[in-house]
Amino acid sequence: MLLRALLLATLFAAPLAAQENLFIQAPDPKLKVRIEADALFNRPSPGGFVPVRISVNNGSDQTGKLEISTTCTTGGFDNGSTLNSTFTLEAPAEQATLHDILVPCPSLLDYSRGDGTVTMNLRMSGTFGTASGSLSATYSDGQPAVLLSEPLFTPNASSLDNELQTGGSSGSPHYRHMSRGAEVFAGRFTATKMPEDWRAYSGYDGLGMTDKDWTDMTPGARNAILRWNRMGGQLVIYALSSSSNLASLGISEGSTAKEADRSFGTISIVPVNPADLKLDPAATVKLFDSTSNLPTVISSVRDDFRGSWPLKTTFGEQRYNYTLFILILVAFGVLVGPVNLFVFAKSGRRHRLFITTPLIALGTSVLLVGLIIIIDGFGGRGARVVLMEVRPDNGENSAYIMQEQVSRTGVLTGAAFTVTEPAAITPVVLDSGNNQWARLTDQNWGNGMRYEANFRDGKLQVSGDWFQSRSEQGQLVRAVIPTRGRIEARSLAGTPSLLSTFEFPVKSLYFRDASGGTWFAENIEPGKAFTCTSIDPSVMEGFVNDAANQLSQRARKALIKNKDNSLPSRPNHFIAFSEKAPGIETYDGIDWQETRTYITGPIAQP
């Protein structure tokens, strides 16, 4: 009875402040049921996921089931990309439950009108009736996707939007746009209601919050944001206290610094007036759109894999054999026409046309299908290149992965596959010039593409236009996976002695020690100690540059931020290369003929 009373007390109480309410469903007061769906960010990113929290107060004695279906679109239902998902949630009797779901969305690629819109529609059905809600956001071409905490958003949103639209005192807008609506600099969030899965942030480029917001978050949310930060996100913490630093905020043990490069991303602690929390509009917009930042996630998806994508160049081209199929169609025309009419079903035997014409058509179809299978085969082949940062320090024991992949398919018997790792997979735009195989190109910008993605038992099951028969496609796969793999120091005195705990052989390794010396080793086997050879620093720099030239622009900049700052240049850090490291698996019908993996990270100390 006490539990029932508590549920009744909370059922009709005013709801706590939410980021963006999608719907409230209270079907019948007698049922003592209230269901509320909130988007944790009020502005979806131009690709990635929308985190949604569904709160269920079921004060009835009936266990319920909720069916959630979502449709995310870019550019509208008629000509944009569409991604559908479904979720099934349980609502136990006489219990209050919270369900956090990640709603996948397609990438916003078409900015032909200067800007584009991404829209998420969510519908609930099931035991307790139906309800629905939607959320949308418009972005200009090249605009970073930014989120600000509520304390920063409220006093600054208007001035930041104005700076974005007009350029402030310069009078020049920051991005090319043609919409008549007001441009929005950032979305907002509440620090105490942040998702604990890094993929919820994967479509965003920057996060801004106060140091109090940071400490108010759950440990799981802070960990998710730090993972997103290592994957290339820009984290800006506005300090109410002058004593705030990376150590005091629990970000980097022992570091009193106010800024740092963390793997592929950056973090900075910026002072702010605690009295009004006012930000300088021009400086803030410039901070989140600095040329020193990585290119935005969406601009990378749109631009990095067209033209001179190194992996695609290495993979090579393949032309359609139009001549053969034209000859077959000409022969079909001759057979079904004059030969059929004057030989097979000549005058007086015209009734044979009802037999000969279908047989000729069927035979030609079988011949065409047979030739396609013989020429193109089943499944497909592909190539992958991976940039991996391994962090065994601070108890992370994680690998941060950017995987680029391109494939060309023959006949596919199905299009569904499962991503077993906690990853975000994104189709990328290919160059349409002289490429008859590509389906997602800079001519159609994904318009008309249809996808489906569903979380089942913690795995992402996808189907639709990710892989198509007789097509060429590319994907960007980003993942954070647990690993015990590392390069361990056995002795760093004199000639370094190291040990690899990776489960695959490493072909070559370069290492910079604490005093700036550079070392080299090769043919490293798992679990076996090895010693390094001293080399000239220019040899290591040449290898790093060669590695960067195998990557797309965003991954290249993640590896080499500038000429004086690269991941391998950090003291006691290494860069290694392997042709045997496993990639993140996607469609199992593809024969991945090559996977080149570049691994960076710190030397683990004994």
Please count the structural domains in the chain.
4
More confident residue, 470 or 538: 538
| Any domain includes 281 | yes
What's CA 5's distance to the chain center, in Å? Answer: 44
Residue 127 and residue 62: Cα distance in Å, rounded?
9
Beta bridge partners of 58: 33, 95
Residue matched to tokens 């705990």: 501
Total residue count of the chain as it appears in this document = 606
Tell me if 35 sits within 8 A of 22, measured CB to CB. Answer: no
507-521 pLDDT per residue, tens: 999 999 999 899 999
CATH number at residue 83: 2.60.40.3880
Has residue 341 been placed in a domain? yes
Would you say 107 and 53 are in contact if contact means Cβ atoms under 8 Å apart? no
Quick: pLDDT tens for 395-449. 899 999 999 999 999 888 888 999 999 999 999 999 887 677 888 999 899 999 9
Confidence bin at 321 (pLDDT 50/70/90): low
Lowest mean pLDDT among 16-25, 116-125, 538-547: 16-25
Q: In what order do the strands lie in the sheet with 187-189?
A: 187-189, 146-149, 206-210, 234-239, 265-271, 259-262
3-state secondary structure labels for all residues of 332-351: HHHHHHHHHHHHHCCCCCHH
The angle subtended at Cα 72 by Cα 69 and Cα 77, nearest 5°, is: 110
Residue 35, domain member (yes or no): yes
pLDDT at 522: 96
Question: Rounded to whole angstroms, what are the CA distances from 502 to 88, 109, 153, 269, 580?
Answer: 38, 38, 44, 35, 11
State whether 337 and 420 are in the same domain.
no
**Residues 44 and 152 grouped into a single domain:** no
Domain boundary among 139, 166, 198: 139
Query: Does 244 map to a domain?
Result: yes
Is residue 7 predicted with pLDDT exceeding 60? no
- E strand or H helix at 80, and its extent? none
What is the span of the domain harbouring residue 123? 1-139
DSSP 535-565: E-HHHHHHHHHHHHTTS-HHHHHHHEEETTE
Q: Does residue 308 sit within a domain?
A: no
Among 105, 139, 173, residue at a domain's last position: 139
Q: Are residues 431 and 580 in the same domain?
A: yes
Residue 314, domain member (yes or no): no
What is the pLDDT confidence band of residue 346, given thresholds at 50, 70 and 90? confident
Q: What percent of the chain has pLDDT over 70?
A: 91
Task: Report which of residues 350 and 583 the model is more confident about.
Answer: 583
pLDDT computed for residue 375 by the predictor = 66
| Encoded tokens for 409 | 């398919």
Tell me whether residue 495 is in a domain.
yes
The C-alpha atoms of residue 407 and residue 311 are separated, in whole angstroms, by 10
Q: Are 502 and 538 part of one and the same domain? A: yes
- Domain annotation covers residue 210: yes
CA angle centred on 605, ends 602 and 606, rounded to 5°: 155
Pair 557, 421 in one domain: yes
What is the average per-residue pLDDT within 538-561?
94
DSSP structure class, residue 315: H
- Asked whether residue 145 falls in the same domain as residue 285, the answer is yes
Q: What average pLDDT does the chain have?
A: 89
Same domain, yes or no: 477 and 430: yes
Contact between 209 and 186 under an 8 Å Cβ cutoff? The reply is: no
Whether residue 386 sits in one domain with residue 250: no
Percent of the chain having pLDDT more than 90?
70
Same domain, residue pair 6 and 123 = yes
Domain boundary among 80, 112, 139: 139
Region at 470 (left for phi over 0; alpha for psi -120 to 50; beta for the rest): left
Q: Say whether both 281 and 348 belong to one domain.
A: no
Assess whether 82 and 172 both reside in one domain.
no
Token pair in block for residue 372: 């396609």
Helix 322-334 and helix 353-376, axial crossing angle in degrees, nearest 10: 170
Closest of 45, 37, 26 to residue 134, by C-alpha: 37
Q: Same domain for 272 and 257?
A: yes
Residue 8 reports pLDDT greater than 50:
no
